Each structure stands twice: as C-alpha cells, then as structure tokens.
Amino acid sequence: MRHLSPEDLDQIARELDAIGDAVRADLGTRDATYIRRVVATQRGLEVAGRALVLGARWRPAAVAGAAVLAVAKALENMEIGHNVMHGQYDFMNDPAIHSTTWEWDAASTAESWKHSHNFQHHTYTNVLGKDRDLGYSAMRVDPEQPWHPVYLLQPLYGIGMALTFQWGIALYDMELDAVRDGRKTRERAREEIRAFVRKAAAQVAKDYVVFPALAGRRGFRRAVAANLAANAARNVWVHTIVFMGHIPEPASTFTFTEEEFETESRGGWYVRQLLGSCNLEGSPLFHVMTGNLSHQIEHHLFPDIPASRYASMAPQVRAVCERWGLPYHSGRLGPQYRSVGKKILRLSFPGGGGVAARSGQPRPGTTPDGAAPAPREPALA
C-alpha cells in the first residue's frame, strides 16, 4: 500500500461505503423471497434424500439418497446457515430466519461459531497471530508461521481434517487453550463444553440413530452408511470452499502484523479485506452451492449484505480496485485448489521455499518491479 496516502484510503472507504449503502437501501421483498425459496428448496431436498435412503431396497437408490442429502446439507450450511448467522437477513425481522435464532445442521453451536467466525475472523482477516482461521492453527499456510516437525504430516492430516471438518471446527471454536492462557474462565469453558455436548449428541442421534431406526432392522446399517457418506461429502465441500477463500496465492502472500492492524483506518481495513481474499469463478449454481463464498472479496467487504447480491456488486468492487491499483484475486476452483495443495505441501517443510515472501513479493498496489502505478483519478463507483 506504499502508493496509497491516508487521504487515498479515506477515498477508497467512501467509494466502497457508497457501494454497500446503495445495496442496503435496496433490500426488500426480492431478498426475502429469495432466502425463503432457498430454505424451502433445501428442506425439500433433505426430505427427498432421507426418503430415498430409508426406502431404498438396492444400493443405487441408497447412493442417490446420500448424494441428495449431501447437497441439502451443503446448501443448509453455506447459502443458508452461514449467511443467516451473519445477520444478512435480519432486516426481514422474521424470527424464523434471523441471526439470533438460527441453529444450523452442524456440530458447532451457533453462538460459538458466530464469535469465532463473525467477530474474530472477519475482524482480524489475515492478521498473523490474531486470525485463527488462517490455517486453523493446525496447518502452516504462511512462511512466516514458525515451523514445527508436526507440519511434516499436514498433507496427511489435512485429509482427515477435510472429512471431519464440522467436528474439528466445533472443537476449535471453543478455544479451550484460552483457559490455560488465562483468556477464558473455567466456568465459561464448562458452559461451552456443555453446549457442544448437547449439540453433538443431537447431531449424532439425528443422523445415526433416529433416522436409521426408521429404516428398520434390515435398513439400519445402510441408512447409517448413507448419512455418514453425506456428512463426509458435505464436510469436504465446505472445507474446500473455506480454504479457497484466503489461502490460494497470491491472496495468501498478503498477511499483516498486529501493529499494522492497530494503526489501520477504515480504508485500510477495506484494503486488508481485499488483499487477503480470493474469489472463485463459476456458474450461478456453483455460486449458490458455495453460499456465494465464491465472492469471498465482496463477502469480506460487506458481510452483512445478502450474499445473493455479491455477483452484482463484484464489477463495482473490481472497478474500485482497478482505479486504485489494487489486485482483485479471482480464479477457477481447479487451479486454486492445486495452488492450495502445493502450498500446504511446500510449507510442511522448514522455510517453505518457493512461497513469495514479503521481501520478494511486490507490496499491495505496486507494479511487479516494486514501483507505484501511475496515479488514477478517484471517482465514486
């Protein structure tokens, strides 16, 4: 950001504020109708998937049921749960679709997840030592993270992390290590553990006891296997989309120190969200199945705006980036996934050679040779 003065950052903030304010002023019936239709579709898919599994008399039907159920679970987690709990639909004042009342089909309790994700991750995006979502403390995803021999195994345990993602996140979000550090009281930790146990018990009973029991003794094991497969598929999909949001290069090369965070302005906050996020390109159906986290940049700039609006906001945000010489990271899922896989493998070893470090990576807003781009005339988007 060398070429951006404090006045430039203030102007960037005004331009992005204007984009967000215009959409917020336009929210209404169309957005409410959209989310209600998505909820109805998701519930229909879940009923269909469970019916196929329970009524299956041969393996292909059970496999089809598991696939439909996996889609329903992914849709509930991504386009509904994640976005509703961000408060994107609170403007409706509908207690059935509200951030304070929604409890999703995942192991994490809504309260625990909202604190870890909505507050910690969105406040400290890509700030080393503060953004707990940056590798989830289990993965080394930045060369400035201290190396430990356990990271040699991260290509292997990363697979297990993907398959059990909802459970890992549920445990991680409780921050039980904070008790040892004195940042959380034992009583608070006990309350969170009790809440997790209640939620986990309900999830296990629903998928592996109650619904399989409806299939009868002959179909019980088949139903358990189908639900296990659906949950694993959902976990892998959610893990994939979440990891694509900040880890692909070059977005992940833009990490920040706590000192930079403490002195940033509102414009600086916007720029940090821009630089540390990466979009995914795809079809409208692809965007819906990602919860529109395929528009990760717009989501981090405007987390309270319904995600279905991000596609229309993206060209305006990109135009702001072009005017101010800021990168707008975007790519297809395949290349981005390969980028993340290579990074995780490289950084499992000390140093992480080949990863663009701060000294070799042009700073935000500079040209490849390190020089600031020619000044551009600022204008509101």
- pLDDT tens for each residue of 37-95: 999 999 999 999 999 998 877 788 889 999 999 999 999 999 999 999 999 999 999 99
pLDDT band at 379 (very low <50, low <70, confident <90, very high): very low
Residue 359 counted as domain residue: no
Continuous segment of H or E residues that includes residue 330: strand 330-332
More confident position, 212 or 376: 212
Q: Is the pLDDT reported for residue 282 higher than 50?
A: yes
- Asked, for residue 360, whether it belongs to a domain, the answer is no
Q: Is residue 268 in some structural domain?
A: yes
Percent of the chain scoring above 90 in pLDDT: 64
Contact yes or no for 346/355 (Cβ under 8 A):
yes
Domain count, the chain: 1
Query: Which residue range forms the structural domain that includes residue 135?
Result: 6-348
- Contact partners, residue 253, CB within 8 Å, separation at least 6: 355, 356, 357, 358, 361
Residue 371 resides in a domain: no
Model pLDDT, residue 77: 96
Residue 363 maps to a domain: no
Query: Which of 250, 308, 274 minimizes the C-alpha distance to 26?
Result: 308
Instruction: For residue 364, tell me if it sits in a domain.
Output: no
Q: Is the pTM above the cut of 0.85?
A: yes
Q: Does 365 fall in a domain?
A: no
